[in-house]
Chains A and B, each alone.
Chain A
Amino acid sequence: MAEPAKKVEEKKIIDEGLEMGTEKLTQDRIENVINRVLKGESGARLKAYVDTCIHCGLCSEACHYYLSQDNDPRWSPVGKVKQTLWEMIKKKGKVSPDFIKRAAEIASTECNLCKRCAMYCPFGIDIAYMMLVVRRINHLLGVTPLYIQDTAHSHAATFNQMWVKDDEWIDTLQWQEEEAQGEIPTLRIPLEKEGADIMYSVIGPEPKFQAQLIYQAAVIMDVAGVNWTMPATPGWDNSDMAMFTGDNEIMGRLKRAHFETAARLRVKKIVMGECGHAFRSVYDVGNRWLGWRMPPIPVVHAIEFYYNLLKEGRIKIAKKFEEAVTLNDPCNVSRGGGLHDKARYVVNAICESLVEMHPNREYNYCCCAGGGVINCGPPYKMKRVEGNRIKAEQLFAAKARGAKVLIAPCHNCHSGLEDINHHYGLGMEIKFIGDILYEAMEKPA
């Protein structure tokens, strides 16, 4: 770990959620919650990580924050553990309310849980897990950034992350069906079709702000002749900010609704849209909290779904996308799900030219939006954008080699990269794979 090249005065960020929560803390409550989580919830896994770490700092250069903050050790993964969990363990929970507030800020807004550092650790220590333990403690203490807490509330009340009401969801699907029928008159978005092969699930922002993505998916399904359905009940949203606030009970409630909806509809698979964190929630974290070793109904990410459709010839390409593209491998589906080669197969099938960014595949830098960081809202936007200068440099290098369009097959990547694009003046257009596939595919005349 190198010494920082310079010291930067940071602006103090006021977050109402952290302030309000901290005001209510007492020493007893802090101690009680920390020890309850350390002894009762985190168990052998955390102990193994804590006992194994030799403080070598090799994780540092894996972290986009550390690299973007001129190698300041405070931003290194191990530095973040030192400033949070190690102190809690060392002091047996006797830490101050201000310490908890700062720990919440570090764990929720200065780490994307991207797990890149785990690949550089000689022992494979999962620092993201340790940051999640900190977030869990913060949740139980009521000290969570306001915006993401509000999103977790939305999940709890509506089972989706955007306060979409039950009728608004169905109405949106029917609206998109009608819109798409302007292009393919017989197209349907089949609701509640029991026994369909596939349930298509999306994240809350799609019906709220990006309904065209549902339209595009419906066209792809229709042209490929997929026997599919979408539920008309809660359980349609695969996203999960509760996973990132440490509210495991709400996370479990959401995943139960999702899988039980799929089981009720008797589908053989769930195909999910281009989202990374939701994949992590349904494929790894949420299902396992409920006791399922693997998803009880198999989950297929959009990248793999497109791959299968193209490989099987169910979708044919009429005209490849002409502008040179580069591809951002989302952490959760690439490092977490191994879909990077399938993503390349798809991109090469639909685009004339793919310019690789470096590093790439499972070694790609995080977008700095994932792990719930972008969901902590406007107060942290500049910290997030400035905390990923390395991503801008990575993209400038790809642009210098001809890339004009940036493909980001993940909602959080998409939004985070838009901010980086604007802040650093990259001038790249950002698209989902589905945007290009929809444009490039053969459709009925």
Chain B
Amino acid sequence: MLSAENWDWETPEKLIAFADWNENFAWIEEPHVSCDGEKIAAIVNIAEGEFSVCINGETWENAFEKIWYPRFAPDGRLTALVSEMGEWTVAVDGIAWENKFGYVWNTLFSEDGNHIAVAVQQDMAYCMAVNDTPWQQSYSNMTNPLLSSDGKRTAATVQVEDFGEGDIQKFQEGVFTAALDGKPWNTKFVNVWKMAISPDGEKLAAEVRVSLYDYTIAVNGRPWDKTFGCVWEPIFHPKSGSVVAPVRTEGAWTLAEDGNLIWDRRFVQLWHQMYSPDGNKLAAIVASKFGKWTIAVDGKPWSVTFKDLITDAAFSPDGRRIAAVAKDDQKWKVVVDGAVWENTFDMAWKPVFSPDSKNVAAKVEKNGKYTIVVNDRLWGHECETIWDPIFNSEGDKVLLRSIEDGKYYRRVITVNDL
């Protein structure tokens, strides 16, 4: 991973021409920028059926018949999914993986960017590939691909038995399971959906349906003792390794840990539960009443509620604060610790905390222009495009990456200057 500490936090402004690229290509697709803001890239059409990627004005040496899903890895390498002669693979900084496949999609990165994984289809058999190495086993279908944050484990839902069209009996007997690094669990389920890998990489937990009507969580293939009317995706406690998931019981939602209900209160809806980094607090997005959405922390909902939506909640690094994006009557808002910022937006992105947990920033859109809001104060630039803000390790500066008048700017500003 590119360590933010080593980035250039001193140069106030760097500029890279971007609109000029138009002169050299038939068309340019949506731009992407590296975390450190030093690179801007986009897929470019060179000629009919010939594509490349342009980074800071320089195109990759290799051209491909098709390219899609360009994404910078956290370590600054640029990946894209590329096709030549009807085969697909991953290109990293313009160099295609040696293995070629029928199709690849859903690029995933480890936290440090060292590991790159994709979902793979070859001859109608499905698996994952990590750093150019596919799983040894493949399956007749695979969904929900996942890469652990350290990049050492991969997991997905896999179909382990074939069944014919309309064979509802076979389906209901269970033909799906989860696979960790390609190795399937011994237990089969009616359905396996989203999953989580434990911080130590030893456990895989997944939401499963054991009959058409009974839902639970399975950990390393073993379902909890209790079943529920419905469940959502599980998470692991960052330290203890226990598993927590939303469960629906008697028509209402609450949280269960290793199968046992842990919150007294019941909700109309509950999902996206999350632990604070130290594991001491547990919060979730909830509907406390029908059409009233908020955040509940350790089972207690905020008093403020929103009619439309609450999403993208995040704990501060010290675990004491929570920020989220909310929506009411087509207005997007930022809410921090239950208090709504005065500014409202046409769109808002996930709030970002500074490492010292004191400052909160978010990318926002208003009247078709984009900017950054920090602690409810708007940055005075109206941009054509902007990316999420990033704080320096001291939390007193913000890296801003934006396009204005066709030019890409990398700026560093101090929080106090906003």
CA distance A135 to B210 in the complex (A): 21
CB of B162 within 8 A of chain A? no
Question: Interface digits, B196-227 against A, CB 8 Å rule (1 contact, 0 not)?
Answer: 00000000000001001101000000000000
Point out the residues of chain A lying under 8 angstroms from B308, CB to CB. 292, 294, 296
Residues of A within 8 A of B (CB): 17, 20, 40-41, 139-140, 142, 146-147, 149-150, 153, 156-158, 165-167, 170-171, 174, 185-186, 188, 190-193, 195, 232-234, 247, 249, 252-253, 256, 260, 263, 266, 268, 288, 290-294, 296-298
B72 is an interface residue with CB less than 8 A from chain A:
no
Nearest B residue to A293, CB-CB: B291
Is the beta-carbon distance between A290 and B212 smaller than 8 angstroms? no
> Within the complex, which residue of B166, B287, B290, B346 is in contact with A146, where a contact is CB–CB below 8 Å?
B166
Contact B191 A157 (CB under 8 A): yes
Partner of A249, one of B30, B215, B268, B365: B215
Q: Which of A41, A157, A263 contacts B309 (CB 8 A)?
A: A263
Give the residues in chain A near B126, CB-CB below 8 Å: 165, 167
With known contacts A20-B169, A167-B103, A291–B268 Cβ distance under 8 A: yes
Complex: chain A residue closest to B66, CB-CB:
A174
**Contact surface of B with A, Cβ cutoff 8 Å:** 26-27, 29-30, 48, 66, 68-69, 102-103, 105-106, 119, 121, 126, 141-143, 159, 165-169, 171-172, 176, 190-191, 193, 209, 212-213, 215, 229-230, 248, 250-251, 268-269, 271, 287, 290-291, 293, 307-309, 311, 327, 330, 346-347, 349, 365
Cβ-Cβ contact count across A and B, 8 Å cutoff? 111
- Determine if B212 and A292 form an interchain contact, defined as CB atoms under 8 angstroms apart: no
Task: Report if A153-B141 is in contact (Cβ < 8 Å); known contacts: A195-B347, A293-B290, A296-B309.
Answer: no
What separation, in Å, do the CA atoms of A273 and B167 have in the docked complex?
Answer: 30
- Given contacts A139-B212, A166-B106, A290 and B269 within 8 Å (CB-CB): yes
Given contacts A252-B230, A291-B287, A292-B291, whether A41 and B168 have CB atoms under 8 Å apart is no
Q: Which residues of A contact B48 (CB under 8 A)?
A: 185
Chain B residues, Cβ within 8 Å of A297: 309
CB neighbours of B309 from chain A (8 A): 263, 292, 296-297
A-B contact pairs, 18 of them (CB 8 A): A20-B168, A140-B213, A142-B212, A147-B166, A156-B191, A165-B121, A166-B106, A166-B142, A167-B102, A174-B68, A186-B27, A232-B105, A249-B213, A249-B229, A253-B230, A291-B269, A294-B308, A296-B309
- Quick one: given A190-B30, A252-B230, are A266 and B349 in contact (CB under 8 Å)? yes
In Å, the complex CA distance between A247 and B290 comes to: 20
> CA A197 – CA B2 in complex, angstroms?
32
CB pair A166 B143 closer than 8 Å: yes
| B176 contacts across to A, CB distance below 8 A | 157
Q: How far is the CA of A40 from the CA of B252 in the complex (A)?
A: 11
Q: A194: nearest residue on chain B (CB-CB)?
A: B30
Chain A residues lying within 8 Å of B30, measured Cβ to Cβ, are: 190, 193
Closest B residue by C-beta to A20: B169
User: Which of A165, A174, A193, A296 touches B327 (beta carbons < 8 Å)?
Assistant: A296
